[in-house]
Structure 1
Amino acid sequence: MNSTRHDEFRDYVAARGPVLLRAALQLTGDRAEAEDLLQAALAKTYLAWDRIQDRAAVDGYVRRAMVNTQISWWRRRKLDIYPTDELPDQPVDDHTRRSDLRDALGRALDRLPERQRLAVMLRYYEDMPEAEIAEALGVSVGTVKSTVSRAMAKLRDDAALEADFPNASHPRP
């Protein structure tokens, strides 16, 4: 791979890495495993970089590589798990509570006005810088900042979210 393609791949990883890491985290549920999964998928993508004609499809290629790798790892791990009469000493992660919180947050986002919801999604889910969001929405950077700020304030004060999770902390950015 020549240096131009190497630079192109490096720029892609720098730009899309945080978003892809969040996708890997959704697949694994563990930050360290997510980092390993993303690294494995990016290694596969790097090897196939010359064959990927449509650069707009690279995210899909990486995500598919992550899913395939995760399934492979899961199958391999499944063979290594043996039943036991002893319970583990470590507390079990409460996936149900995390899922309920994610659902409640999704409903709270749905209650935001469309422009605020879009700004929050682009900023925090897609990890886009404010300048890119401003360009995508056709507004100024200041408008993006104030829109995101108002949306976050509404989410913090959302009574329905508070009712679902009264003990959840609501950090202020």
Structure 2
Amino acid sequence: MRDRQDGPSGENRFRARQFEAFVAGAAGRLLHAATLLTAETRDANPRAQALLTACLAHTYAHWDRLRGEDPYDRARADLATRFARTAWRHHRGRGGLLSALTPQERLVVVLRLYEGVAEEQTAALLGLAEERVRAICARSVSALRDRRGGRLAS
């Protein structure tokens, strides 16, 4: 009976250590991506923190099922999916760097430019055509450049 109890708890400790190491390495970048998505400022980003917390909880719950998959890719996909599901309700711009963009534009820009996800993968993740992802990204970058140029000229 004692051996049975030691086995799973040892596995749980190992799983927890693995996940802690993953979070230590990836949480900062994922939080920054979530902050960009929610268009909050770095100093005041409660929605981004809530989004990241839910994403990491889901990743931990499915940690044993990754089986060779990159946990960062899985967490990033979950973060993007959670944002996309709630963006129309909760994530209007709040003065962040990308607040001039719509939630869909922010999602494409963050995945393509900040995270470096390929157009094909971004399109598959969002359920859009590759041409649409390319057009959204180009339009968003153009809008950000125009906005930045206007701010610099003032």
Q: Could you tell me the TM-score, scaled by structure 2's length?
A: 0.49
Query: Which of 1 and 2 has greater Rg?
Result: 1
1 or 2 for the larger relative contact order (CA 8 Å, sep ≥6)? Answer: 2
- Normalised to the residue count of structure 1, the TM-score between the two structures is 0.44
